[in-house]
Amino acid sequence: MLTSEAILPDRPNDKREKTLSSSVGRIYRTDRIEGTVILRGERANVVFCFINEQLLRMKLFFGETPDLRSTPAIVDDAAQPTTVEVEEKDGHIVISSPAMHAVIDPERFSLRLFNGNGELWFEELATEWDEKNKIAFSAVKSSDSHFYGLGEKTGFLDKNGERYEMWNSDVYEPHVQDTDALYQSIPFLIHYEYGKPAYGLLLDNPGRATFDMRTHEDRYTVNIASGELDLFLFNGPSIKDVVKRFTDITGKTYMPPKWAIGYQQSRYSYMNQEEVLDIARTFRKKGIPCDVLYLDIHYMDEYRVFTWDSKRFPKPLEMMAELKELGFELVPIVDPGVKKDPKYHIYQEGVKNGYFCRKLEGDIFIGKVWPGLSAFPDFTDDAAAEWWGDHHRFYIEQGINGIWNDMNEPSVFNDSKTMDPDVVHANNGNPKTHEEWHNLYGLLMSKATFEGMKRGLSGDRPFVLTRAGYTGIQRYATVWTGDNRSFWEHMAMSIPMVLNLGMSGIAFAGPDVGGFSHHASGELVARWTQMGAFVPFFRNHSVIESRRQEPWMFGDQVEAICREYIGLRYRLMPYLYSLFYEAHKTGVPILRALIMEYPEDRAVYNVCDQFLFGSSFLVAPIYRPGVQSRSVYLPEGVWYDYWTGEKHEGGKSVLAHAPLDTMPLYVKAGAIVPEQALRQSMGEQTDEPDRVRFYVGSGGADENSFAHYEDDGRTYAYESGQYRLRNWRLRELSEEGLIIACDYAHDGLNSAQKLLLTIEPVASKPEELSSTGGTEVDTWVYDGDSRRLQVSITANHSFEIRIRL
C-alpha cells in the first residue's frame, strides 16, 4: 500500500524551511553537471540548462540532485540539455548560449535574460515560498506590458490586469468575462512590449497554480499551490517565434483527417438510429455541406462506455453503412467514468489488472458520474492507457474513425467536482497525488484515445475531440471551449478565447456554434455560423432541453445563410487545409490575433472582436442582435471587401455594412488563395479544376507567396512523401504587368492537374501572356466589367506566367 511518505518523502537533504517568504538566499557554489549549471543556495538550489540557443529551463529544487524529468506536456527527449557556458563576470554569474545569456546576482539570487544583441528581455524579481511550501515567482512588467496565451481563459485578448487559476474544472453555470477556472489549463504566458523582444514563459506544473497580472503594477506573479517550480523561458523576438519555439518542445498540432475540418452537427442527444439517419438525409436533401454527426451519452447501454443501447441503436453497422454512403463520419462520446458493475466486462478488466485510480489507502477511487458510481482509469500507467486505447477497436470495427472525450477534467458529481486530492496516480513507478497532477488527466486520456485509435485504424488518421487538456494537448486532440450558452455575449467571448488558445499552441479549437445551452434565436445561429465558417473547429452543438439548432430549424432565410457560409468554408478548404499543414509543421495558429501579424501597430494589441484567418483574410463578426453595420479596423496594407471588391487603405477603421446575410470579410492585396468547387462532404469527388485566386494591388516590387499543401486527406501516407507542396508567388511589376509563379517544392502525388487561376483586379486587358517551365497556357479570358483575368493551365511541375499589360 502506498503512503504519503512514499509519494512525498521527507528527503534528508531537503533545505526547505517552513517559514513565511523563504528564498533561495546567497549562492555559495556553482556546479556543472551534464549540460546543466546548478546554483547552490543557502535555502534552496536552482538548476539551469539551455534546451536550445533560444530556450532556457530553470528549476527550483531542495535536495542534492535535481530531477529533470519533464511531465507529459513535453515531447519525449525535447528538453535535453545542450551546450552551456558559465563564467563569473563583474560579481555576477553568467550562463550563456550562442544566442542569449542569463545573468544571476549571487548575493540574493535574481535573474536577468539578454538576447544576442544585448537587449534585456526578462527580469525576475523574486522566487519565494511560504510555510506550506507554496511557491511564488515574480517577474518585471511595465505600464506597456501586454500578455497573451494561457489557453481558453475568458476576458479580453490582452490578459494584463487579470488573474487566472490553472485547475481544470467542469463549469456548467453561465460563463461570464471573469469565470475561472474552466476546462483546460495551459500555463504558458507570452509577454510583449512595444519595440522590445517578445518572450514566453511556460510553467510545467500540472497542479493548481495562478498567473497574477493584476495585483502589482510593476510585476506579475506565478503562484504554485503544490509541486515544483519548473520554468521554460522562450526568447522571441516575435510572438510568432515564441509560439514556434514553444511548440518545438510541447508538440505541433496533429494533422487531422480532412473530414474533421468540415462542418459538424451535434446534439445532446440524437436519441436513436433513425433520428441520426434522418438528420444526415436532410443535410443532403437541402444541399448543406456537412461531414460529421455526433452521438452524446444516450447511445450507450446505461452510459456504459464501449457499448450500444440495443433498443435505440439496434443495427449500428447498417446505420454506419448508410452514413458512409451519404458521406458522413460519426463521432461518439466516450467519458472516463467506468460504471461500477461486477458484470460489466470493462469494469471487471480494470479491477483485475489494477488499471483504475486508487486512494492513498489502496482502495479504488469511486465517484458518481453519468453511469452512477464509477471507477476511473489511471492514464499515467502505460498499461492502463494501452488497455483503454485498445478498447476503441469496438468503435473502429463499426466504421467509426473519431472519438469525443468529455468529462475528463476529470469531472465528478461531488462537492469538489473532481477526484479527491489524495488519489494516487501510479505514473509508471513514480507515483503522484491527484492534487499534483490533476490537470494532466484530460491530456493523458486524449493521448490514450488517439494512440489506440491510430493503432486500430491501420494507416488512417484518427480525430479526437476533448473538453479538458493541458500543455501539449494539441499533439493528440482538438479542443472546444465547453458548455457555453446561446447568448450573444458568449459568441463574442469565444473570439479571444480561441485566439489565445492558438497562441498557446492549440491551433485546432473552437466554440459550440449557436451555444450549447439556453434557446438560440435564428439571428444568433446565422451570425454564429458566419463566424464559425472561419474558425478551425466548426461544430454546432446544443443541449437536450434547448431549441434544436440544425440550420433548417429557423426558417428559409437562416437556412440559406448557413448554407452559403458553410459552403464558403468548403470552397476555401484548400486554403484552410494548407493552414492546418502550416500549424502542423511550425506551430503558427490558423486563427490569428492581429498582433501576431502586426506587432508594431498599437491599435491591435487588444482587438477582441476581429481576427485573421491565416494572414490573408480579416474576419469581423457581428456579435450583437439587430446590428447591421460595424466599425472594422484594417491594419497596414491594402484590403478588399470580399463581397463587393471595394478597395480600402489600411491603418484605419472603416464602416462595414452587414445585413443579416453578410458578415464583414476582407482579403489583403497580395493574397494568394487556393480554392475548390463546392462539395457536400470532403470525400465527394468532382471534375472541376482546382482554383487559385490572386489579389493584386499590394504595390511595389515585393513578392507575395503562399505554401499550398495537398495530400490524400485521410491517411498517414504524407509521412512517406505522398503529398504535394507548391509555393505560389505573385509579383507586381508596377504598370508593366504581373508575374505568377508556382514552384513545386515537393510532388509525391505525381499527377498533372488542371488549374484555373483567377487574378483580380486587373486594370486592363493583357497584351500578352507567356509561360516558362514547359507549361503552356490552355486558355485565358479577361472580363473588363469585373476586372478579372482567368487563366487555365495544366501543370505537373514548376512554371511561371508573365502577364504584360
* Residue 620 preceded by cis peptide, ω within 30: no
State phi, psi for 104 to the nearest 5 degrees.
Answer: -115, 130
The residues facing 633 across adjacent strands are 653
Rounded to the nearest angstrom, the gap between the alpha carbon of residue 373 and the centroid of all alpha carbons in its chain is 33
Q: Measured on CA atoms in the order 176, 178, 184, 186, is the torsion positive or negative? A: positive
Pick the catalytic residue: 483, 512, 597, 711?
A: 483
pLDDT at residue 83, as a whole number = 86
pTM for the model stands at 0.96
| The CATH number of domain 11-250 is 2.40.340.10 | no
Q: What is the largest CA-CA distance in the chain?
A: 86
The predicted-structure confidence for 448-479, as pLDDT tens digits, reads as follows: 999 999 999 999 999 999 999 999 999 999 99
- pLDDT reading at 591 higher than 90: yes
pLDDT at residue 79, as a whole number = 87
The predicted-structure confidence for 75-123, as pLDDT tens digits, reads as follows: 998 888 988 999 999 999 999 999 999 999 999 999 999 999 999 999 9
- pLDDT reading at 500 higher than 60: yes
pLDDT at residue 18, as a whole number = 41
The predicted-structure confidence for 274-318, as pLDDT tens digits, reads as follows: 999 999 999 999 999 999 999 999 999 999 999 999 999 999 999
More confident residue, 80 or 571: 571
pLDDT at residue 1, as a whole number = 33
pLDDT over 90, % of the chain: 91
- CATH T-level assignment (fold) for domain 689-804: Immunoglobulin-like (2.60.40)
pLDDT at residue 133, as a whole number = 78
Pick the catalytic residue: 406, 523, 582, 609?
A: 406
- pLDDT reading at 34 higher than 90: no
Identify whether the C-beta of residue 635 lies closer than 8 Å to the C-beta of residue 601: yes
pLDDT over 70, % of the chain: 97
Round to whole Å and give the CA distance between 462 and 447.
11
pLDDT at residue 700, as a whole number = 66
- pLDDT reading at 12 higher than 60: no
In the residue annotation, 204 being an active-site residue is answered as: no
Identify whether the C-beta of residue 359 lies closer than 8 Å to the C-beta of residue 423: yes
DSSP 694-738: EE----SSPEEEEEEEE--SSBSGGGGT--EEEEEEEEEETTTEE
pLDDT at residue 9, as a whole number = 41
- pLDDT reading at 10 higher than 60: no
* Residue 316 preceded by cis peptide, ω within 30: no
pLDDT at residue 69, as a whole number = 94
- pLDDT reading at 244 higher than 50: yes
The predicted-structure confidence for 731-769, as pLDDT tens digits, reads as follows: 998 778 999 999 999 999 988 889 999 999 999 999 999
pLDDT at residue 701, as a whole number = 62
Pick the catalytic residue: 409, 512, 597, 641?
A: 409
**Coil, helix or strand for 692?**
strand
The predicted-structure confidence for 245-267, as pLDDT tens digits, reads as follows: 999 999 999 999 999 999 999 99
Identify whether the C-beta of residue 94 lies closer than 8 Å to the C-beta of residue 87: yes
The residues facing 209 across adjacent strands are 166, 224
CA distance between the termini of the chain: 83
Provide CB contacts within 8 A for 687, sequence distance 6+. Answer: none
Q: Stretch 560-589: mean pLDDT, rounded?
A: 99
State phi, psi for 9 to the nearest 5 degrees.
Answer: -70, 150
CATH fold match for the domains 11-250 and 689-804: yes
For 105, which DSSP code? E
In the residue annotation, 5 being an active-site residue is answered as: no
Phi/psi region, residue 235 (left: phi>0; alpha: psi -120 to 50; beta: rest), is beta
Crossing angle of helices 522-532/488-502, nearest 10°? Answer: 10
Phi/psi region, residue 158 (left: phi>0; alpha: psi -120 to 50; beta: rest), is beta
Separation in Å, CA 589 to CA 481, 569, 789: 16, 17, 32
Q: Measured on CA atoms in the order 326, 329, 333, 339, is the torsion positive or negative? A: positive
Q: Which helix (H) or strand (E) holds 594?
A: helix 594-597
The predicted-structure confidence for 182-201, as pLDDT tens digits, reads as follows: 999 999 999 999 999 999 99
Domain boundaries, the chain: 11-250, 689-804
In the residue annotation, 711 being an active-site residue is answered as: no
Mean confidence (pLDDT) of the chain: 95
Poorest-confidence range of 73-87, 381-395, 500-514, 525-539? Answer: 73-87
Round to whole Å and give the CA distance between 631 and 639.
15
